[in-house]
Amino acid sequence: MKTVKLGEENVAEVILGQSPPSSAYNGTGHGLPFFQGKADFGLLHPIPRVWCDAGQKFAKAGDVLMSVRAPVGDVNVALGDCVIGRGIAAIRAGIRSDPWFLYFALAYSKPILESRATGSTFASVNKATLVDLDIPLPEMPEQVAIGSVLRLITEKIEQENLLITTAQDIKRVSMRDLFTRGLRGEPQKETELGLVPESWDIVTLGTLGRIGNGSTPKKSVRDYWEGGTFPWLTSAKVYDRDIEAADQFVTKTALDECHLPIVKPGAVLVAITGQGKTLGHCAVLRIEATINQHVAYLQTDTSKADSGFIRGYLETQYDYLRQVAAGGGSTKGALTCSFLRSLSLPLPEIKEQREIVAVLDAIDRKIDLHRKKRAVLEELFKALLHKLMTGEIRVDELDLSALDRVEAECEEAVA
């Protein structure tokens, strides 16, 4: 495929942003939207958070907005006139380029721009680097067709993101109601946890089963790891929510000598330390496994408590658990098994617990479906972006009926 320099005549105009005085900013919608970095970007279009009633550099509707300071090379498309700050360049299509094709061609060029960025503190690219960038440029009808196909897939990804967010919002509202009102329409009573149905008890996690945590066998001892077959889990696995497989394994020697607990299926696992968002996440164990010291387990008495119910309630307490770990627990930066044993939760009779779990599981399946669809679409987009930009395939060779099969295949996988 023919390539040209981005700054060639009639291909594109490059406009570097310039930040106005901070006194010109406002959060009330007065003036034009102001964008100054990748933090403002959505999937396709930027999201205004700040407005500006005085600016020196402007973008117009359809301009490609590019982050020119770390992270370098991320792109969005301006929905209308806006002010751009020093972290943004507006790239305006000329008569030789289709705006949407230009957007995807620049998205494809991100690795090249990253490799050309300079600066030890904040990597950035200058106007000369952008103007000198090689981009593919087929004939205009092919550009339009490529832009349309890739935009269609991107919009479908954006739609799946919206559906995931909507389903997660529904789940949050449902959880709040389910754990305070139940499913029986009972009158409520006031408790230490707030209002709950009259027939529900308030119990502590420690009354429902055994609580403990694990350890990490020394990596330097080969007998603990080499040829290991027993699943050993870290706190990263709690993101699975239902843990059905392990990534690491220990030997029987490690189990015997390192005092590792053997945790049975049905236990609830909680990340009690962790960087980022890990701490406070929980999952239900579906296999027999052992754990490291950053994970606590609750081996429940299943005649008293459904593990899915406990996981669901703990998910509503995520922010509280993190607050405790940040300062209120006995060990700063971590939860303790002692704290978990004393943690109170509302508990209906077992049949209602399972009915509540069934409601939450149905919502989770819906979320999982949309995540799977999004993942398939993202892989399709990456493959097509490369093949179309390199000329490996042409738009008229594509079978877009594959998009129609994504939903059916993903629904079958989740069912």
* pLDDT number for residue 333: 76
Domains 3-137 and 201-344 equal at CATH topology level: yes
Mean pLDDT, residues 110-121 taken together: 93
* pLDDT number for residue 411: 63
Q: How confident is the model at residue 223 (pLDDT cuts 50, 70, 90)?
A: very high
* pLDDT number for residue 6: 98
- Determine which of 160-164, 240-244, 325-329 has the lowest per-residue pLDDT on average: 325-329
The pLDDT mean for the chain works out to 93
- Check if the beta carbon of residue 237 is closer than 8 Å to that of residue 297: no
* pLDDT number for residue 331: 46
The answer to whether residue 410 scores a pLDDT higher than 80 is: no
Q: Between 140-181 and 350-389, two packed helices, what is the crossing angle to 10 degrees? A: 170
In the chain, the percentage of residues whose pLDDT exceeds 70 is 95
Q: Where are the domains of the chain?
A: 3-137, 139-198+348-415, 201-344
Architecture of domain 139-198+348-415: Orthogonal Bundle (1.10)
Q: How confident is the model at residue 1 (pLDDT cuts 50, 70, 90)?
A: confident
Strands, E, within 194-254: which ranges? Answer: 194-197, 201-204, 209-213, 230-233, 242-243, 248-250
Q: How confident is the model at residue 329 (pLDDT cuts 50, 70, 90)?
A: very low
- Which pLDDT tens digit goes with each residue over 131-154? 999 999 999 999 999 999 999 999
Q: How confident is the model at residue 302 (pLDDT cuts 50, 70, 90)?
A: confident
pTM score above 0.75 = yes
- Check if the beta carbon of residue 22 is closer than 8 Å to that of residue 46: no
In the chain, the percentage of residues whose pLDDT exceeds 90 is 87
Q: How confident is the model at residue 390 (pLDDT cuts 50, 70, 90)?
A: very high
* pLDDT number for residue 106: 98
The answer to whether residue 378 scores a pLDDT higher than 50 is: yes
- Fold of the domain built from segment(s) 3-137: Adenine-n6-DNA-methyltransferase TaqI; Chain A, domain 2 (3.90.220)
Mean pLDDT, residues 289-318 taken together: 95
**Burial of 49: CB neighbours in 10 Å, binned 0-12, 13-18, 19+:** exposed
The answer to whether residue 328 scores a pLDDT higher than 60 is: no
CATH entry, 201-344, from 3.40.50.720, 3.90.220.20, 1.10.1040.10, 1.10.530.10: 3.90.220.20
* pLDDT number for residue 413: 58
The torsion angles phi and psi of 98, rounded to 5 degrees, stand at -85, 130
* pLDDT number for residue 150: 96
The answer to whether residue 155 scores a pLDDT higher than 70 is: yes
* pLDDT number for residue 330: 45
The torsion angles phi and psi of 32, rounded to 5 degrees, stand at -105, 150
Mean pLDDT, residues 22-31 taken together: 92
> With helix as H, strand as E and coil as C, how does 269-334 read?
EEECCCCCCCCCCEEEECCCEEECCCEEEEEECCCCCCHHHHHHHHHHCHHHHHHHHHHHCCCCCC
Dmax (CA) for the chain in angstroms is: 76
- Check if the beta carbon of residue 336 is closer than 8 Å to that of residue 272: yes
